[in-house]
Amino acid sequence: MYGIIRHLFSAWAWQMAWRDSRPVRWRLMMFSASIVFGVAALVTIGSLRQNLNDAVGWQAKSLLGADLMVSSRQPYTKETEALLADLGRNGGEQAREVSFTTMLSVGNTTTPKLVSLRGLDGAFPFYGNIVTTPADAWQKVVDEPGVVVEASFLKNMDAKIGDMAKIGDLELPVLGVLEQAPPSASGFAAFSPTVLTSLDVIKKSNLTGNKSLVFYRTYFKLPNGVDAQALVKKNAAMFEQQRLTRTTSKKRSENIEKAINRLYTFFNLIGFSALFLGGIGVAGAIHIHISERLQSVATLRCLGCSSARAFAVYLIQSIAMGIMGTLGGVLVGSGFVFILGLIVKNLPAGMLPFAVELAPTWFEITKASAVGVMICISFALLPLLAVRRVSPLAALRREQVSLQKSSRDPLRWIVIFGLVVFAFILTWWDTQDVANGWKTSLGYVGFLVAAFLFLAASGKLLRWVARKLARPSWPFVIRQGIASLHRPNNQTGLFMVSIGLGTFLIFTLIMMQNILMQWLDPVRMSNKPNLFLVDIPPEEKRSVENLISDNGVKLLGNAPIVQMRLTEIKGRRVSELIKPAEGERPIPKWILRREFRSTYRESLTDTEKLVAGEWVGDTSEFQADDAIPVSFEQKLANDLGLKLGDEVTISIEGFGESKKLRVASLREVDWRSMNLNFFIVFPQGAIDEYVSFNVLAANSPDDESTAQLQQAMFNKLPFVNTIDLSLILRTVQSILTTAGKTVQVMALFTVVTGAIVLIASLLAGRRVRIRESVLLRTLGASRRQISSILAVEYALLALMATLAGSLLALIASILLGRAVFEGDPYQIPWGLLALGVAAVVSATVVIGMLLSRGISSQPPLQILRNEAAS
């Protein structure tokens, strides 16, 4: 090892590496391109992640508008007020907010829209600004009754500044439009237009009276030296007791960073995969190069060159390849980030939640470069190690020296082990910020290793089958083509691994995109609710149902809502469980604190399925004193440590009643379905008298029908909120389309890498094929026969490699579909896959024949002479 390192720094080794590469520089450069797209992907994704996280970090405080936010779903109690006052004693400033969603119309438009109405203290936000047109509009709203609304909303309503906004019986003038809204704590606000008014207006009106979703928030600007996180920690018990959620600006930015990191992890793993595939291309290229240089190595060894010195010469060439490929990758990746930066710069103001400047970062460039060069060298080492075993005696012998891979070479196993560990460390390093990141990287590397082993084993199986399969009665070209698969110096193993892995990665990406696109399926969409009507008093349910059907909207479901909280779990009070004893498994506090909105019904819906126990649809078989048999969502039951038959006690909000429940069944719920899903479902007849309000789910065929229904509802039952999900669905569709396009770009990167790897694999076997073809020609084989033999060999190799890769892709996409995308991974695009298999096989045969062109048309001696000279 020391010898190799010493020779790496000797001028002769570099000079020799340069001279030796003379006739093949273009080829080495071309193959160095196999890592270009992997490195480009890492530079792009890494830089985007860092840019976004930096932007979040710099603007952390303005993302929340304060240092600390305390939020409640109920009006503040005396104890809460005391706690807030206590927090205020740290100095600094406070501002309050009451917000909720409500139906609002402006001007002459009678069709109301659901908006997020925020009543704010004038002091908020402490960091960042509210920007309006006219500039003093927000100040006016603080001083006198009025609202400011989003410009697009006003345009949508065909209204103007000065028109009156109507919310129930309350009428307020529109004093301006929002150019930059204050930071919002509510995720839902992103999907409904924001309307700002003063806190006084909300307090004086009766708007919150019949609302089920009202948020009461207090924002703190803390003096320098007071740590918001420490304050939260110190008062944790009181916050828990008062069921208050709290967010610090730091936590907020951390949460955003977490979301960015999760996305980054996924795309980064695709980038790594492209890089590993490129590594195989490099290994193939070095294999070809070294095979052609073995005679020279033997001569050099004869002339007194040590094996370490000869090894250093070719290692330098591999390092140069790594550097060239990496430089190419850095250029492509940086160019991509620059273009994205220009696009983002030209986006309309307000399209992104925070300002971000996109530019490639030096850290990510350095990291990706180091990774690119390391991967290139590691993969190159696999064929390169054979240089050490070239005997000088080979120069004396007349026979052709061939590349001998030795599975007994300990260094070969050390390199392979090192590659696996390197891959794990790399992916683990990048998944550290994600929960269970090490498991993700272990799973990823494990699957990659399994894929390698599977493909290598498939290669062995193919060789065995080829040996047993051919029959003397078969046509000559078929027998020769099949024999090429198992003859000495065959390329079956290399092909199976390189083409198989390429196919596996590309097909996995295609199928992932397919899973993403399932969400956009119009048929699937037409049976899903896109309209929810909430806050319907039980006595008005029938009228709402009639209005829905009268306006051509399809009613999909109804859920009577009973609000409740857990008070005891398996005989232990919730207040005890919040502070678990040492060694006791803690129950997530949000579950113990939350208000559950539960329902009752006779049967299961199509977005849930029973996984344990017995579904109880009514209480006809139970006595009033019995615990009510209910169905729990299985993850919630698991978090609470509940099994079938266990008992819990609830208190029904607003009625002061307690009920004992028994876990009769467990359900798996598809929460993504945007349907009426619940954690706890009661049998009919058990809690019917405690219904607070009803929620109806409906599917509206178009925006016009939605508008008509909203208008009718506003006229007859103004307290009913109509939540139009079409905006959310459109946003989700847009996000999925963007994600799908990103996957497409990554797939394109991988296809280009795969094509280079394919060429490398084909060239790797070219010399052997030429020799065989020349021999056959000398013995009288026609050009047509030689071409047919090659075509049969390439087609068989490509078909088997592609099928093995497709099988791996199917397994990977099913695992990913279940674990990550939560789509239906069994909806396999068979047609697309078949097309993919045909494309890869055709490309292999066509490129293979193109690379072999001339072999069958030139005189044998000329070919041999040309090859000897190369």
Partner 1 sequence: MATKFILKTYELTKTYTSGDHNLTVLDGVSIGVPMGETAAIVGPSGSGKTTLLGLCAGLDRATSGSVELDGCDISELGEDDRASLRSESLGFIFQNFQLMPTLTALENVLIPGELSGMNGEALTKRAADLLSRVGLGERMKHYPNQLSGGEQQRVAIARAFIHQPQVLFADEPTGNLDEEASEIVENMLFDLNRELGTALVVVTHDLELAKKASHVFRLKGGKLVKNSDH
| Residue 398 engages partner 1 in binding (rule: CB under 8 A) | yes
CA distance 684 to 693: 16
250-282 burial, b at 16+ Cβ within 10 Å, e below that, comes to bbbbbebbeebbbbbbbbbbbbbbbbbbbbbbb
Cα–Cα distance for residue pair 123/221, rounded to 1 Å: 10
Give me the phi and psi of 557, to 5 degrees please.
Answer: -175, 160
Residue closer to partner 1 by CB (options 297, 650) is: 297
> Angle at Cα 630 formed by Cα 617 and Cα 661, nearest 5°?
135
Tell the smallest beta-carbon distance from residue 393 to partner 1 (Å): 5
Beta bridge partners of 113: 104
869 touches partner 1 (CB under 8 A): yes
Strands, E assignment, 758-811: none
d(CA 4, CA 771): 34
Give the list of residues 6+ apart from residue 702 with CB closer than 8 angstroms, or none: none
Nearer to partner 1, 16 or 680 (CB): 16
Query: Which is closer to partner 1, CB of 296 or CB of 684?
Result: 296
Nearer to partner 1 by Cβ, of 779 and 869: the residue is 869
Bridge-partner residues for 170, per DSSP?
A: 167
- By the 8 A CB rule, do 425 and 466 touch? no
Selected range binding partner 1 among 16-24, 469-477, 733-741, 835-843, rule: CB under 8 A: 16-24
| Calpha distance 214→486 (Å, rounded) | 73
Closest CB 387 distance from partner 1, rounded Å: 14
Please report whether residue 1 would count as binding partner 1 according to CB under 8 A: no
Helix/strand/coil for 792: helix
CA distance 682 to 366: 58
> Considering the rule CB under 8 A, would residue 868 count as an interface residue with partner 1?
yes
- With CB under 8 A as the contact rule, the residue among 252, 287, 301, 367 that binds partner 1 is 301
Shortest spacing between CB 31 and partner 1, in angstroms? 17
Do residues 855 and 773 lie in contact, with contact meaning Cβ atoms separated by under 8 Å?
Answer: yes
From residue 368, alpha-carbon distances to 45, 209, 273, 708, 757 in Å are: 10, 57, 13, 55, 20
402 binds partner 1 (CB under 8 A): no
Q: Is 98 in the site for partner 1 (CB under 8 A)?
A: no
Judged by CB under 8 A, which stretch of 274-282, 293-301, 455-463, 798-806 contacts partner 1? Answer: 293-301
Structure tokens of 143?
A: 């001083």
What is the smallest separation between the CB atom of 869 and partner 1, expressed in angstroms?
A: 3
C-alpha span between 228 and 69 (Å, rounded): 10
Q: Of 15 and 152, which has the nearer Cβ to partner 1?
A: 15
Q: Please report whether residue 430 would count as binding partner 1 according to CB under 8 A.
A: no
Site for partner 1 in 534-563 (CB under 8 A): none
Least distance between partner 1 and beta carbon 825 (Å): 52
Q: Which of 71, 90, 139, 299 binds partner 1 (CB under 8 A)?
A: 299
**Shortest gap between Cβ of 403 and partner 1 (angstroms)?**
17
The span from the CA of 220 to the CA of 125, in Å, is 10
CB of 837 to partner 1, least distance (A): 40
Secondary structure (3-state) at 263: helix
Query: Of residues 298, 499, 547, 833, which one binds partner 1 by CB under 8 A?
Result: 298
Write the CB contacts of 776 (distance below 8 Å, at least 6 apart in sequence): 480, 785, 786, 789
Pairing of the two strands 680-682 and 245-248: unpaired
From the centroid of its chain, how far is CA 75? 38
Cα 750 from Cα 756, distance rounded (Å): 10
Under rule CB under 8 A, residue 340 binds partner 1: no
Closer CB to partner 1, residue 3 or residue 75? 3
Instruction: Report if residue 395 touches partner 1, rule: CB under 8 A.
Output: yes
Report helix, strand or coil for 654.
Answer: coil
Residue nearer to partner 1 on the CB measure, 581 or 868: 868
* Segment interacting with partner 1 (CB under 8 A) among 56-64, 389-397, 543-551, 735-743: 389-397
Selected binder of partner 1 within 8, 308, 760, 797 (CB under 8 A): 308
Distance CA 691, CA 600 (A): 10
What span, in angstroms and rounded, lies between the C-alpha atoms of 828 and 811?
11
Instruction: Give whichever of 304 and 410 is closer to partner 1, judged by the CB atom.
Output: 304
Q: Which of 209, 225, 304, 831 binds partner 1 (CB under 8 A)?
A: 304
Which one, 105 or 307, has the nearer CB to partner 1? 307
- Write down the least CB distance from residue 392 to partner 1, Å: 4
Applying CB under 8 A, does 327 fall inside the site for partner 1? no
- Please report which helix (H) or strand (E) contains residue 835, including its range: helix 830-851
Q: Does 313 help bind partner 1 (rule: CB under 8 A)?
A: no
Q: In the bound complex, what is the minimum distance in angstroms from residue 289's beta carbon to partner 1?
A: 11
The amino acid present at 347, given as its one-letter code, is L
- The binder of partner 1 chosen from 269, 286, 305, 845 (CB under 8 A): 305
Which of the stretches 15-23, 227-235, 357-365, 814-822 binds partner 1 when contact is defined by CB under 8 A? 15-23
Choosing from 135, 396, 819, 861, the residue that interacts with partner 1 (CB under 8 A) is 396
Structure tokens that stand for 617 in this block: 């649809």
CB of 589 or CB of 771, closer to partner 1:
771
Indicate the residue among 603 and 870 with the shorter CB distance to partner 1. 870
Instruction: Supply φ then ψ for residue 103, to 5 degrees.
Output: -85, 135
- The answer to whether residue 300 forms part of the interface with partner 1 (CB under 8 A) is yes
156 binds partner 1 (CB under 8 A): no
Residue from 22, 89, 468, 585 binding partner 1 (CB under 8 A)? 22
Q: Minimum CB separation from partner 1 for residue 858, in Å? A: 16
CB atoms within 10 A of CB 344: 16
In eight-state DSSP terms, residue 353 is: S
- Residue 831 in the binding site for partner 1 (CB under 8 A): no
850 touches partner 1 by CB under 8 A: no
- Shortest distance, CB of residue 398 to partner 1, whole angstroms? 7
Report whether 68 contacts 231 (CB < 8 A): yes
Q: Among 30, 650, 545, 7, which Cα is nearest to 285's? A: 30
Instruction: Return the residue of 1, 9, 19, 407 that touches partner 1, per CB under 8 A.
Output: 19
Q: Which of 29, 302, 820, 828 binds partner 1 (CB under 8 A)?
A: 302
Residue number, 12 or 826, with CB nearest to partner 1: 12
**Residue reference for tokens 């005679």:** 295
* Closest approach of partner 1 to the CB of residue 487, in Å: 21
Q: How far is the CB of 306 from partner 1 (least distance, A)?
A: 4
Per-residue binding letters, 450-479, with partner 1 (x by CB under 8 A): ------------------------------
Q: Are 154 and 174 within 8 A, CB to CB?
A: yes
Question: How big is the site for partner 1, counted in residues (CB under 8 A)?
Answer: 34
CA gap 219, 217 in Å, rounded: 7
Do the beta carbons of residue 197 and residue 119 sit within 8 Å? yes
Residue partners of 344: CB distance under 8 A and separation at least 6 = 352, 356, 357, 358
Q: Is 204 in the site for partner 1 (CB under 8 A)?
A: no
Contact stretch for partner 1 (CB under 8 A) within 36-44, 196-204, 307-315, 777-785:
307-315
Q: Rule CB under 8 A: which residues touch partner 1? A: 3, 12, 15, 19-24, 295-296, 298-309, 391-393, 395-398, 865, 868-870
